[in-house]
Chains A and B, each alone.
Chain A
Amino acid sequence: MRRTVSALLRKELLVELRTLQSVPGMSLFAVTTFVVFHFALNRDTVDGDLAAGILWVTLLFAGILGINRLFVADADQGGFDGFLLAPVDRSAMLVSKVLTLLAYLLALELVAVPAFGLLLLGTSLGPGLPELIATLALGDLGIAVIGTLVAALAVHTSARDLLGPLLALPLLVPIVIGGARASAPLLATTHHSGAPGRWLLTLGLYDLVFGLIAFALFDFLLED
């Protein structure tokens, strides 16, 4: 299983490196969105709740772009059929796709978070950075799990670009709640005690539950 996953993961990342169709677009989208927010809110700097909200919403919608593209190549070019013919555990595709999406999101954040700190954030990122990274990582895992499940659901429908986001956004609301609440004190002008552990715990549990659900259900989506 582990060998299959690493083989698949290698394939996904190689394809992405060669075609560059997801991560650069997502990153650019995030930076552009920050600019749009500046004009929409008519503010030079944001902090606290507002900053956390803007950051998480932007990451969410940039993530949706990645979700939309996740299975498209497999669906259009027979990747599913090829995988189904191979004598491997079908859950390997789920794990590899989740890790792929997670990698995309982390790469996205390498660009987006510094851009956010530069463009919009009123305070400095420094003091809260480690906890912010932990929060983002937990949130990304949740987005990756749910995103993969939803992407697999939506890719075989006739309105895949529309149904993907529609399905994903309500399911991701708890992630936004946990992520934004946890990030808000980290981005505030007067640094409080740090991210409330309660929200990190919520994020972690949500990730775990949906990870298990996705693992149980994914095989049913692959049959043909």
Chain B
Amino acid sequence: MYGKGLRTLSIATVIAMALALGLVFFYAPLEAEQGFLQKIFYVHVPLAIVALCGFVIGGLLAIQHLRTRDSRWDMRSYVAIHMSLIFAVATLITGSIWARASWGHWWVWNEPTLVSFLIVFLLYATYQPLRFAIEDPERQARYASVFAVTAGAFVPLNFIAVRLSTAYLHPRVLGSTSNLPGSMALTFLVSLIAMALLYATLCKYELTAKHTRAQVRALRRRLSGGEPGARRSRSAAPTLPAGAPAGAASAGRTAA
């Protein structure tokens, strides 16, 4: 049952987001070097951190899938990676905007975070094509999970490698997150929490929608007298097993 708790989560997200935005624009002081421009920091870095954690979580969920062979873990892994990819794109775009404003170029190579993200993005962009290229659903899920674990392990290693390669060239342009003054640190923390809640809400939303769709399909099959129905076309998304009786029962109870 995926929708349970979605309302609470989304309300928490709204509150956290509003709080974060308020803190960013009305409380956090202007930074000495970059001035107002530094405010991008509060949207870019939380996006980056949440995306990275999302990728790693996707790998952990994939491990669970490989261990239990339960396709629900594969679904969760798929959604986590999908959402993290969207957050990664947002990270790249906001980072590019910041680079343009700071350096005058839309892309800079001496910012290790941005460069690492580009590599990670290019890797995870192959996740969906990989899934789509394998027809058999069980094999698709299994191979995707192997990929997710490999890629999830790659993310931290890649960061270390890229950071090592740029450390001796230029000082970091986008500023480090350590030794932040207290008010900025608080604002950053709240922004990070808000972004993490947003990620969780969107993932839960996505899972609920997918599950609902699977339930509708199962219902259709049942009402059609158990016929197999139209053959599912090839897809990259994992499928959930046909609606289990337990799921339908709890759906009735929690529908209120």
Question: What is the interface of chain A, defined by CB distance below 8 A to chain B?
Answer: 149, 153-154, 156-159, 163, 166-167, 169-171, 173-174, 177-178, 181, 198, 202, 206, 209-210, 213-214, 217, 220-221, 223
Please indicate the chain A residues that have their CB under 8 angstroms from the CB of B165 in the complex: 177, 181
Candidates B129, B135, B149, B161; contact of A174 at CB < 8 Å: B161
Give Cα A173 to B97, complex, Å.
25
Q: Is the CB of B123 within 8 A of A220?
A: no
Give Cα A149 to B135, complex, Å.
20
Apart from A158-B135, A170-B158, what are 8 other A-B pairs with CB-CB below 8 Å? A156-B143, A158-B134, A170-B119, A173-B119, A202-B160, A210-B150, A220-B66, A223-B142
Q: Is the CB of A217 within 8 A of B146?
A: yes
Q: Give the size of the chain B interface in residues (CB under 8 angstroms).
A: 29
**B157 interface residue per 8 A CB criterion:** yes
Please indicate the chain B residues that have their CB under 8 angstroms from the CB of A163 in the complex: 126, 129-130, 133
Which secondary structure characterizes the binding site on chain A?
A: helix
Which residues 102-158 in B have Cβ within 8 Å of A in the complex? 119-120, 122-123, 126, 129-130, 133-135, 139, 142-143, 145-147, 149-151, 153-154, 157-158
**B193 interface residue per 8 A CB criterion:** no
Please give the distance in Å from A40's CB to the nearest CB on chain B.
Answer: 21
Q: Is the CB of A178 within 8 A of B161?
A: yes
Query: Chain B CB within 10 Å — which of A167, A178, A210 has the most?
Result: A167
Candidates B145, B153, B164; contact of A202 at CB < 8 Å: B164
Q: Is the CB of A217 within 8 A of B149?
A: yes
Which residues 146-190 in B have Cβ within 8 Å of A in the complex? 146-147, 149-151, 153-154, 157-158, 160-162, 164-165
Please indicate the chain A residues that have their CB under 8 angstroms from the CB of B126 in the complex: 163, 166-167
User: Can you identify 8 A-B contacts, CB atoms within 8 angstroms?
Assistant: A157-B130, A163-B129, A167-B126, A170-B120, A170-B122, A198-B164, A206-B161, A220-B66
